[in-house]
Chains A and B, each alone.
Chain A
Amino acid sequence: MAAAPDTSTSDYDALTRGCGLVDRSERGKLALTGSEAKPFLNGQVTNDVEALEPGTGCYAAFLTPKAKMLGDLRILDAGDELLLDTERVSLQALFDLIRRFRIGFQVELHKRTLERGLLSLVGPRAREAAGATDLPEIEHAHRAGEVGGAPVRLIATADGVDVLCHAEDTDRVREALVAAGAQPVGEASAEVVRVESGRPRFGVDLDDATIPQEAGLNDRAVSFTKGCYVGQETVARLFYRGKPNRHLRGLRLSAPAPAATPVRLGDREVGRLGTVVLSPGHGPIALAIVRREAAPGDTLAVGDDGVSALVVELPF
């Protein structure tokens, strides 16, 4: 298979200068209700859920007791419920964790993956297209709204606005967003913009061997003041006393190569390629978690076909 699908210039223009629309309805979605939903979830994920107010949200990871990532998620406080969304590959793990550890708490778990649609608007004109110019700038700020006559939730993201709707309204909402100037683009095109911004994705760039600090997620995903949660001992020890052995880096490739290809510094394997994209501005680039010996400025060998990679800081 082609390592880095070609990105149409028109998609890239929309995502970086206008407003691209990506259907992310396949993401895993759940909701929590009940008077103890917040204290319960707070004890299971890395970020401070109890600090959330209606209309705010946060990004967090959920870990094994040894602090390896089982997945990451967005948590939105919608007042009467907490809305959770996660990569589809980690949905079952999140669901199992909640189902298993909710014992002793007033909390109910609801499935929302098939019941809700999720359309991401990416680009500087996203807020305009969503009718959300009033939405606070801070990531994860959200409010109820209406698009194409359908009730939606408008959510501020790092690069635009997410529109969450009832699954049966998804087509109608998409049409209304397109009429408002959004241009439908493929997921592969949106991946180019994500990789350029240096944000890793669980399942490709991050897996069940990753500790959040290695992926540079502490600032976004971890609260060091909230108290105990699964994996907290290791996360705290690494932060206060340790030095991660690996770091998330950008790689500028001499040619595209498939994801998961091993990369070597000299003779030693120091990691594997994560997401690989062909950026109109940067050429073939990738994200990878590499051992700390591979510092920015070093050149790595990628696979066995003579491809090389320059290690760089993120974002590109």
Chain B
Amino acid sequence: MSTTEVTYHAKGVHFSEKGAEKVREFLASQQADIATAGLRVGVRGGGCSGFQYQLAFDDQHDGDVVFEDNGLRILVDAQSLPYVDGSSIDYVDSLQGAGFQVNNPNVVAACGCGSSFRVAEDEQVSAV
């Protein structure tokens, strides 16, 4: 297994006002320490369009990139970063349900429910 080191200038992941408020509320209700705990934002293969978001309250892990916004921490694993970089984490309360919503500039198409998405193509590697 070879390792490639890359330098990457992240745009960062941010909260909307409502998003920050809900995260602070939740962490306070869990009596979590906002110096270490935060909202984890990641992606995983799956869903109707290929990728799905993974959102969770979590502590920092090795290899995480940490962004701070509104005094809160956003934890992103290195693999997921290129897919969510530049996103804004909002909280929406609608008839379809309430929850966090990722407004992601990398997305080229999303499925009907908005929980799965597609991004632009990357470099090609031969399959043979």
Give chain A's interface residues, CB within 8 Å of chain B: 28, 30, 40, 43-44, 65, 91-92, 94-96, 99-105, 111, 113-114, 228-233
Contacts and interface: CB of A to CB of B under 8 A. Distances in A.
Nearest to A115: B128
Given A28-B128, A104-B80, A230-B47, 16 more contacts: A30-B127, A40-B46, A43-B47, A44-B45, A65-B48, A65-B49, A91-B128, A99-B125, A101-B45, A101-B46, A111-B128, A228-B47, A229-B48, A230-B48, A233-B111, A233-B112
B48 to A, nearest CB: 5
B94 interface: no
B127 A94 contact: yes
A44 B49 CA distance: 9
Contacts, number: 73
Shortest 9 CB-CB distances between A and B: which pairs?
A104-B44, A101-B45, A95-B127, A43-B46, A65-B49, A92-B127, A91-B127, A113-B128, A233-B48
Nearest to A65: B49
Interface of B: 42-51, 54, 79-80, 83, 109, 111-112, 116, 118, 122, 124-128
B127 A65 contact: no
A101 B45 CA distance: 4
Nearest to A39: B46
Contacts of B50: 44, 65, 100-101, 230
A181 B1 CA distance: 45
20 contacts: A40-B46, A43-B46, A44-B45, A44-B46, A65-B118, A91-B128, A92-B124, A95-B125, A95-B127, A100-B122, A101-B45, A101-B51, A103-B44, A103-B51, A103-B79, A111-B127, A113-B128, A228-B116, A229-B48, A233-B48
A233 B116 CA distance: 12
B91 to A, nearest CB: 23
Contact of B109 (A40, A65, A104, A228): A65
B69 to A, nearest CB: 23
B48 A232 contact: yes
A233 B114 CA distance: 12
B78 to A, nearest CB: 11
Nearest to B124: A96
Given A100-B122, A103-B79, A104-B80, A228 B128 contact: no
A104 B45 contact: yes
Contacts of B124: 92, 96
A28 B111 contact: no
B58 to A, nearest CB: 14
